[in-house]
Structure 1
Amino acid sequence: MKVISTESSQILAARLATALNTGMVDVKFSRFPDGELYLAAGELDDETVIVGSVTGSDALVQLLLLIDACEGSENHLVIPYMGYARQDKKFKNGEPISARAIARLFKDNVADCITVNIHEPDVLKYFGVPTKNISVGKDVGAYIQTLHLKNPLILAPDDGAMAFAEGVAAVGGWDCDHLEKTRLSGVEVKMAPKKLSAASRPVVIVDDIISTGGTIATAAYMLYQQGATDVYAACVHGVLIGGAFVHLKAGGIRDVFCCDTVERGCSRISAAKSIAAALKG
Structure 2
Amino acid sequence: MESHHASCSLVLCGKSSVETEIAKRLKNNNNSLKLPDNTKVSLFLESEAKHVVKDDDGDSFDLSLFMNSILTHQFGRFLIWSPRLSSTHDVVSHNFSELPVGSVCVTDVQLKGRGRTKNVWESPKGCLMYSFTLEMEDGRVVPLVQYVVSLAVTEAVNHVCDKKGFPYIDVKIKWPNDLYLNGLKVGGILCTSTYRSKKFHVSVGVGLNVDNEQPTTCLNAALKDMSPASNLLKREEILGAFFHQFEKFFDLFMDQGFKSLEELYYRTWLHRV
Larger Rg, first or second structure (1 or 2): 1
With a CA cutoff of 8 Å and minimum separation of 6, indicate the structure with the bigger relative contact order.
Answer: 2
Structure showing the higher helix proportion among its residues: 2
TM-score, normalisation: structure 1: 0.35
Q: TM-score, normalised by structure 2?
A: 0.36
